Structure 1
């Protein structure tokens, strides 16, 4: 567990929210003023290093503690890629909380311009075209370290072909502070 008070509070908040669904006792969370401030977060669940659920918010619209708790429950029980988490899985599930910086417009002249200016390992990216939208957290660079492949997979996640590009594509980028259970 992290020694950072905010990170510890967020990880406990996430685990408490999931555990409550199984009737488990809550751990005490330090009352930090940051927990009441609006924030956008993602909660990622893994088992043996493999993704088990990931849900989040791209805009800050509710208190940090609420956002983490709601996203933790959604990642555990409502990520359409996975069956709902079983109580027997909880002990072997690791929680990661990512606190997003506000997204900033990332205007580009072309796909080549975007690829040249992306910062691997730093940028979280939001890809939007019409009603289609997808995001990758900066952590995704760990498995997709090459900008072209990162962008191809993000377009596929948005339901578009990997080679798609249009002048009306809108990009935004953000950073994260993250904490992960050990």
Structure 2
């Protein structure tokens, strides 16, 4: 990863445009601008997180890469808006006061481990995002979650709770992947 500033700026502007379109038209942005900065973007997964007045209100994204990065951001922006608790009374003024975080996911790396303790010992707190899968159930925590859950055992326990799995769930079918993110932030306007 490691995108140039013009590409990062273009992705943030596209995310804003997708948010506003979703708010105004209750639909995903389809007329995506053709920009030089988007020409060579890879197929890549992303997450969009929304905070209002320093409170988390929505996060949506894709774990498995499916489409070119800018198209993934448009889709996830629309879904994040629709899943935002304050969507019903969203105005342009409130939109300006949202903090929007775009997380660009690296390739997933599947971990090889003998047991849960071995898996946990391989995690890099503050760095790794983690995908936990048991059977058909899977969930992820972005690396930013380490800020509130710095203990690796608590991190994995929280991820299991998020997946509605018991804390003691563990067998040979468990799969775990890690990834890192490049983070783009659109800070709230204080005006």
State the match for 1:52 in structure 2: 57
State the match for 2:14 in structure 1: 13
State the match for 1:99 in structure 2: 104
State the match for 1:84 in structure 2: 87
Q: 1:102-121, aligned counterparts within 5 Å?
A: 102-121=107-126
- Aligned positions, number: 176
1:144, 1:155 → 2: CA distance?
A: 13
- Aligned partner (choices 36, 39, 48) of residue 44 of structure 2: 39
Deviations 1:97-116, CA, capped at 9 Å, x for gaps: 11111111112111111121
State the match for 1:22 in structure 2: 23
Contact 1:13 1:29 in 2 (8 A): no
Aligned partner of residue 10 in structure 2, secondary structure: helix
Unaligned runs of 5+ in 1: none
State the match for 2:78 in structure 1: 73
Superposition RMSD in Å:
2.2
TM-aligned CA deviation for residue 135 of structure 1: 0.2
Aligned partner of residue 32 in structure 1, secondary structure: helix
State the match for 2:28 in structure 1: none
Unaligned runs of 5+ in 2: 26-32
TM-aligned CA deviation for residue 35 of structure 1: 6.1
TM-score by length of 2: 0.83
Aligned partner of residue 138 in structure 2, secondary structure: strand
TM-score by length of 1: 0.87
State the match for 2:142 in structure 1: 137
TM-aligned CA deviation for residue 162 of structure 1: 2.2
